[in-house]
Structure 1
Amino acid sequence: MRLRALLTALFAVPLLAACVDDRASWQIDDTREHTLSLIREQPLVWDKKVNLYVVVSRMPACTRRHSLGAGTENTRVEIWQVPSGAFIVKAGRRMYATESQTCEAWARLDEEPEGGLGELRGVFRTRNGELTFVAEKPDQAGGDDE
């Protein structure tokens, strides 16, 4: 019986290793206290979908986790900042508005705001198998390298 349990555990390890559970952050003011983070969780290895979450944090004042819904391991998540200081999080065709003063506001946008998305701050994406935030350089605004 012990051998059977050991073999089952050994066969389960590669399956668990394939699950996605990672995160990356953008330091908004170049400080660890003010960040937007993306979390990807894949609860079942055989399911291609991952649950996406955004954590808005301005410590010590506030921190909140908001759901972006399901995506894939390669879902590109863009962060835009509007002139008011609020942020638009774009994952595929879905867009959400949020802010970091109270970290509570989270609203789905059915269409692009009248004034546009604002300024692209960067993109969360997978590079070399690792989730990372790639900051947008001012001279590349509006460009897309994919």
Structure 2
Amino acid sequence: MKVVIQRVTEASVVINEIEVASIQKGLLVFLGIVDEDRQEDIDWLCNKITNLRIFSDENGVMNNSLKTFDGDVILVSQFTLHASTKKGNRPSYIKAAKPDIAIPLYDSFIKTLQDALDKTIQTGKFGADMKVHLINDGPVTIIIDSKNKA
């Protein structure tokens, strides 16, 4: 399981010209799922996201996490995070989990993150063609792969 986390001053998701999610300060999180992913990957990543100290304190130092900073989250499924570009110029998405595996894990990720933060997590729609708008703050962009815990 892989996430790309972007600290934003604003972000939104539009599907078929309808805005389905919108936040001001917080995190935009893109989530990629593979067949081998399990609940322990979700638990570990949600803990990381929740406690990642990437928001500035009163001295301008990144000391605050979502636990101590009043920020919101948009979670967007993105199978292209597991693209392989080893051969040729057309990315292969063979590693990305198929919907029958990915959707339950995606739903569990949303619930686990909501429970950890005790707030509603806004989302895109799994499998939809989405337009994601964001203003990256910093810029701060962090990539975390649950298979690289050590």
- State the TM-score, normalized to the length of structure 2: 0.27
Structure with bigger strand share is 1
Answer 1 or 2: higher relative contact order, Cα 8 Å, separation at least 6: 2
Structure with bigger helix share is 2
- State the TM-score, normalized to the length of structure 1: 0.27
